[in-house]
Structures are given as structure tokens and as C-alpha cells.
A and B are shown apart, each in its own frame.
Chain A
């Protein structure tokens, strides 16, 4: 015979409520930090919230946010995609090159081509990870250099200028609808679509399951290899899309487009509360993280902070958000446990 009793359910729900609130708090926290930052900067310099500056902030966040959404999908599965910046670079240069070769190409078709190119590059990542069973960190570090090398070889120090691209395409990079830049609308559409998929579709939930416990996912019959492959294809496709938007926004493209942006992307994802070991977090958080990072970079010069300190500020933000995650999970854990002990 055994000495055990049944669990106290009432106390457990108490813990549950705290747990649920904590997840909400996480994204609210980033939002709050963003509002605070904007308020302080506005107090110092009211022009920070001029229509033009808001538009610039949104434009500046767009590409990072799209990349962060793709990255979040991969990180949720307990992987990482370091090649995002190189995929963006290749796609941006391809956009220019295609327009040089076929000036009359419809813009929607160009968006599809860029996205498809990114998806193929993402499939290379996913395929290598699945076939070689090598950690994503190593594989995508390799393809980070490989894709960039392809970019350099193709560009051969050429530069594609605004004059080589259709004016309608370049207008898309600056135009606004009701004050909101068209590019930002792309980011919002991507965010909502991916966020909805992750929340409401089996495939999306399975990505969380894989990141939460890969062994348990296997026992649950989740096709882990296929899902992770798909996550990398999605991340690649979004980086490809971001490349086309990059070309539209800047007009001038060389082989260095998006150089080094991958670490910013990972930073945005982490700041946005996506657990680096997978299983939790949301693309909304990741996108908010991207907006926060962009805003900080824009706000610090206004606040008179020495540019040399700007990277340090971003670093501090990463550490602070990890600290916040630790504190939150400790609190959630404690309330779930105490629920047990008092029953």
C-alpha cells in the first residue's frame, strides 16, 4: 500500500492564473518599455514623434520585424537560423538583377520570386540539418558564409542603383496608406498570418511541442524532421521577402545588403520573450522586440547618448529581458508549487 493523496485542484488553478498572467505580462512588458522609451525621448525632443519620424521608425522596424517573425518560428523549435542576413542579401541583389534583366516585371511577381528564392535557401538549411543531423547553429553558420559568398561572386562588386529599378517598385518603399508605410503593412500581414497559424493550427502547435521536449514530440508521433524543415523554409522565405522589401526601400543594392543583421534579429527575438531553448514565446513578442530595438537605436542619439554606447544599451536590454524571463518563470514556478504545498 502506498501513502499518497490526490492533488489539491483549487490551489492549482490559482497557480495557473498566475502562469497565464505572466505570459501576458511578458508582451505587455515590452510594450510598456517601448511606450516609456518613446515618452522620455519625446519629453527631451518633441520632434521625435513627428509624422515623418514615426514613419521612419515604422519603416526601419519593418525588415527587422519580418526577419524576427521568421527567426521566432525557428527558435520556437529549439533551433536558430543565422543565415537570415545572407538570405536577405542574396534576395535583395536578385531583385535588382531581375529588374535589370526584365524591367517590366510586375511587382507582385517580384515579391513571389524573392520569397521563393528565400524558401529554396531555407530548404538548403533545413535539408542539411535533417540529413546531416548537425545542430542548426553550425549549419546556418556555414550557410551564412556560403550564401554571402554566392552574393559576392554574383555581384562582383557591382552595385545596382535606383535608376535600374521600376519607379513604381521604389515608390512602394516610401508610400503610405493613411500615414502607415506600405512596407509596414507587409510586416503586419506576415505577423498576423504567422501568429494565427502558430496559435490555431496543428502544425503550429507541433512546432511548440518540438521545442518544448523533442523526445516527447517523437513519442507523440510528431514528424519532427519535417516540421523543423518547414520552419527553416518559412524563415528563409520571410528573409527572401524582406530582401525584396529592402531593395524597394533603399533603391541601391550591393553585395553587403543585410550584412550582420542576423544577430540583431536574434536579439529582437530574445528581447521579445521567445525562449532561446524553444517551446515558448510568440511572434508578436518577437515583432515588438524588433520595434523596440529599432526605436532604441533611433532614440539614443536624440537623448544625446554617445553612439559608442548604443550597442552597449542594446546588450543591456537583452540581459535585462533575459533577467525578466528568469524572474517571471521563477515566480510562476513558485506559485504552481505553492499551490501544491498548501492544498
Chain B
């Protein structure tokens, strides 16, 4: 084996009492894509941040081309030739897409002025290469998560780096976009770039990578050629045990109608959406990204107003645009974007957990720390949240654990109707199975669950019924027995009005 382009040796990193990485080693070679898999909290994102120069390792060494690398910051790491695509997009909403791509290294003309025309042309060139149509001049504000991710990818590609680190770049992308990204990545790899690819989607890891490293609980577990591994083996190493069934759906008898939606319309987003979710039922809301699923769930919960239609919980009409009333009526929404909408990142785990029901925990109008802690501990334990202390800010947790806190927060309100938007996006298999088990249990307890999901296996595995949306309209209502990939896909692409 030739000398690696980038090597990590004995790298450890702790945040307070939580050891995020312990004695990790990793070697990336030129002309090779290297897969990194592990559950949430396994330390993948910390590893990425160390490579990016955001965190300095406590111990251990990093060598780039045989020379020790100690980046003082992200600019250093980038100058050394390491490009990083972060899991969560990091764009400047007020600036144009092309400025976002070239920030800090804009092409210059005379007198060191920015060459705006050249910058725009280069951005357009990058988008051509990725096969996407994005206007380089539009502001980043208002871009969908998929488009934001594409801008991030364009940014990383434009660096022509020696090492390209991709932390779940495909979480928000469609099949076509993923294929284009892979084509570009393969051509970069063949040109000599060392690629580190992190994903929870095993099919992608196996499609792209030659070698796969597994991490668990901040430790290195194994590195093997992809050809010598199978999905089952990787999963076993990730969790350190056999995973019980991914979709532990128990059949539960549907009860009385819990959530009724009639003729819900919001101009420009969705039109005439109507359906019913019964007690004990899990109903999936499927469709392409942009079909209006999240918008519908937000309107039901009262985050956005709607132009016409009505929402009833247990037969009682909810006032539109009133979140407090929705919560009182027993509605809970676990939003798609946990960082922006689900959590107050600076507040502690326990504060976040108790936010929606803080009034119920008060005595004489005052909130006492003891009561708050006791209330938070129960849910944190039930969901197995991995945190140093419950008083730590949520921002210090890993993605999967953050998602658990969001779930805990809403489950603690003991909802009658639970709306979950992409409940398992960007979280690992182990946590995924836990979340599925939890949803199943809740349904068995008589909760009506409405699950928005883009993961077809999840939709088919979990739902009693599948509602499909296409361009703002409900195009199908498919019972579990007749739901398969084809019927759902056809309805989602508007090819046929199935059922």
C-alpha cells in the first residue's frame, strides 16, 4: 500500500466529560473513496470537524503527505487542501449563491477587486458540472435544503482539494442528484483526490467506496475493503449487536377519527387536502420533496396559516394559525429541520425537553429546577439520549441525540396526534429502529401518528395507510396491503391516480 495522502494516528477529543473520539486512526489514499459509517454519536462529525480545522485534537497526530498537519482554523485546513461538505448546510442567506461558493477566495481583477462576472461564470460552470439549474445571482435565502446542499457541494468541488470530506452530502438529495454527485465524485477520485464519504445509506457507501471504516462510540472498529463486507456485517459492527427488525410495526386496530383535515388550501403551497387519521393508526404522507407535505403538516399545527379548509381534533375545530391551541388540543409536531425549528440550541437538554409543557410544571407560576430535572430525566432515559449532563446545551449533542431530544420534548406533552416530519433523516440505523419502535408503541397506545417521510422503505414498513402528494395535491390514499414501491412512486410522480 502506498503512503496515504492523509493519516490520523491515535486521535482523541473530549468535550467536557464526553469523550467524542478515543484513539481513532484513519488513512485516506489518493484515487480512493473511503466510506465512514457509524451510529449517531459514534464520533463521525467530530472527526470531520477535526479534519476541517474547527476542533484541534486533544492527542494524536494528523499527517498530510507525510508532513504533520496542525491547522489553526478552517482557513488553514482549506489552504492545506482539505475541502469539507458539512452535514448541515452553512450558507449566508443574505448573499448570492455565487458569493456563497467563493466567499473568501473570490476571483480578482485589477486592483484586487472582485471579478463578479468571472465568479458568476464559474458558479454556473460548477452547476453545469453537477447538472443542476440554479441561478448564481439569487440569494441563498429561500433555497430548499436539497439546493443548499448542492451549493455546498459546488463550493467543495471548486476548491480542487487533495482531500474531499463529505459528511452526509446526500441526506436531502434525490436519486438523480445523488447519481450526478457520484459521477462528479468518481471523476475527482480518478483524478487523484482522496475522498472520505460519510453516509447512513449503505447502498451509497457500497456504490462509491473502495474501503469502509466502521466507528462505534468514538472508537475505531474496523477498516476493510468494501468487497469483503456486506451490509449485515457493517450494521453488526456499527451497533455491536444484531439489530432487531428495522420496522417493528405491530398491527393495531384503528379507533375513532382523531385528526380530520378537510379541504385545506394555502395558495402557492397546497390545495384541497383532506384526510383522516384514526386513533392507533400510523399514516404516512409520501411524495417528492417540494410536493407540499411539510407545508401541510405545518399548517395543521398552526405554524402557517391556510386560506381555506379546516382541521379537527377529536371532532373539535382548531383555530387556524394558533400553535398554542393546537398543543392544548393534543397536537404535537416534530419538525423536519431540528436545528432551526425543533430545538433552542443554546438551551440545556432539560430546558428543551420541557419547553412545550413548561406551564404544566410550574408551581404558583414559577418554574423550579428540581421539577424540571425530574421531568426531563424520565424521557431522556426512555429515549436513551446520550448527553454528558442534562444541563448541557443541546448544541453539544450529536445529530441523532438531538433528534431524540426533539422527540422527547413532544412526547412529554402526551399528544393525541403526533405529526413527525422526516423522523429519521440523518440518523443512524440503531436510532432509526428505536424511533420506529417508539412510533409503533405510541400508535398501540392510541395516538394517531402522521408521518411525513421521503424514505420509501420507512413509509412502506411503518404505515397503515400511505397518502401521496404531488404538486400540492393529494393524489392517492393507499392501504397497507396494496402499498408497494411502484404504486407510491407512480402517485408521487403524478403518473396515475392510484386508488
Q: Which residues of A contact B (CB under 8 A)?
A: 1-7, 9-10, 12-13, 15-16, 19-20, 200-202, 205-206, 208-209, 211-213, 215-223, 275, 279-280, 332-334, 336-338, 340-343
> Given A3-B454, A3-B456, A221-B104, 7 other A-B contacts at CB below 8 A?
A3-B489, A4-B146, A5-B174, A7-B144, A13-B138, A16-B137, A218-B74
Contact present for A200 and B93 (CB under 8 Å): no
Shortest beta-carbon distance from B120 to chain A in Å: 12
Segment at the A interface, from B30-38, B221-229, B286-294: B286-294
Contact present for B286 and A3 (CB under 8 Å): yes
Contact present for B268 and A7 (CB under 8 Å): no
Contact present for B269 and A333 (CB under 8 Å): no
Which residues of B131-183 are within 8 A (CB) of A? 132-135, 137-139, 141-142, 144, 146-147, 172-178
Contacts of B114 in A (CB 8 A): 200-202, 205
Instruction: State whether A7 and B134 are in contact (beta carbons under 8 Å apart), knowing that A2-B455, A201-B113, A212-B94 are contacts in the complex.
Output: yes
Contact present for A9 and B92 (CB under 8 Å): no
Shortest beta-carbon distance from B331 to chain A in Å: 24
Instruction: State whether A9 and B103 are in contact (beta carbons under 8 Å apart), knowing that A1-B175, A212-B93, A220-B90 are contacts in the complex.
Output: no
Contacts of B178 in A (CB 8 A): 2
Contact present for A7 and B104 (CB under 8 Å): no
Instruction: State whether A338 and B73 are in contact (beta carbons under 8 Å apart), knowing that A3-B456, A279-B93 are contacts in the complex.
Output: no
Contacts of A19 in B (CB 8 A): 138-139, 141-142
CA–CA, A209 to B108, complex, Å?
A: 18
Q: Chain B residue with minimal CB distance to A333?
A: B142
Interface hub of B93, B104, B292 (most chain A Cβ within 10 A): B104
- Interface residue B197 (Cβ < 8 Å from any Cβ of A): no
Could you show 7 A-B contacts with beta carbons less than 8 Å apart?
A: A2-B175, A13-B135, A202-B106, A213-B90, A279-B95, A338-B268, A341-B270
Contacts of A6 in B (CB 8 A): 132-133, 174, 176-177
| Chain B interface residue bracket vs A | 35 or more
Q: Which residues of B contact A (CB under 8 A)?
A: 52, 54, 73-76, 78, 86, 90-95, 99, 103-104, 106, 108, 112-114, 116, 132-135, 137-139, 141-142, 144, 146-147, 172-178, 268-270, 286-290, 292, 295, 454-457, 471-472, 485, 488-489, 492-493
Instruction: State whether A280 and B94 are in contact (beta carbons under 8 Å apart), knowing that A3-B287, A15-B142, A337-B268 are contacts in the complex.
Output: yes
Q: Chain A residue with minimal CB distance to B106?
A: A202
Shortest beta-carbon distance from B131 to chain A in Å: 8
Interface hub of B78, B99, B135, B175 (most chain A Cβ within 10 A): B135
Query: In the complex, which of the residues A10, A20, A213, A337 contacts B92, with contact meaning CB atoms closer than 8 Å?
Result: A213
Contacts of B116 in A (CB 8 A): 200
Query: In the complex, which of the residues A2, A10, A20, A280 contacts B174, with contact meaning CB atoms closer than 8 Å?
Result: A2
Instruction: State whether A7 and B454 are in contact (beta carbons under 8 Å apart), knowing that A220-B74, A279-B92 are contacts in the complex.
Output: no
Query: In the complex, which of the residues A202, A212, A221 contacts B95, with contact meaning CB atoms closer than 8 Å?
Result: A212
Contacts of A1 in B (CB 8 A): 175, 456-457, 485
Q: Chain B residue with minimal CB distance to A329?
A: B141
Interface hub of A10, A20, A209, A334 (most chain B Cβ within 10 A): A209
Contact present for B175 and A4 (CB under 8 Å): yes
Contact present for B91 and A216 (CB under 8 Å): yes
Shortest beta-carbon distance from A213 to chain B in Å: 5
Contacts of A202 in B (CB 8 A): 104, 106, 108, 112, 114
Contacts of A279 in B (CB 8 A): 92-95
Contact present for B268 and A3 (CB under 8 Å): no
Shortest beta-carbon distance from A217 to chain B in Å: 7
Contact present for B74 and A219 (CB under 8 Å): yes
Shortest beta-carbon distance from A279 to chain B in Å: 4
Among all A-B residue pairs, the 10 with the closest Cβ atoms:
A221-B75, A9-B133, A4-B174, A336-B142, A16-B138, A279-B94, A216-B90, A212-B92, A338-B268, A4-B289
Contacts of B94 in A (CB 8 A): 208, 211-212, 275, 279-280
Q: Chain A residue with minimal CB distance to B138?
A: A16
Contacts of B52 in A (CB 8 A): 219
CA–CA, A342 to B473, complex, Å?
A: 12
Q: Chain B residue with minimal CB distance to A343?
A: B290
Contact present for A337 and B454 (CB under 8 Å): no
Interface hub of A10, A200, A208, A221 (most chain B Cβ within 10 A): A221
Instruction: State whether A333 and B133 are in contact (beta carbons under 8 Å apart), knowing that A1-B456, A2-B174, A340-B290 are contacts in the complex.
Output: no
Contact present for A16 and B86 (CB under 8 Å): no
Q: Chain B residue with minimal CB distance to A7?
A: B147
Contacts of B295 in A (CB 8 A): 341
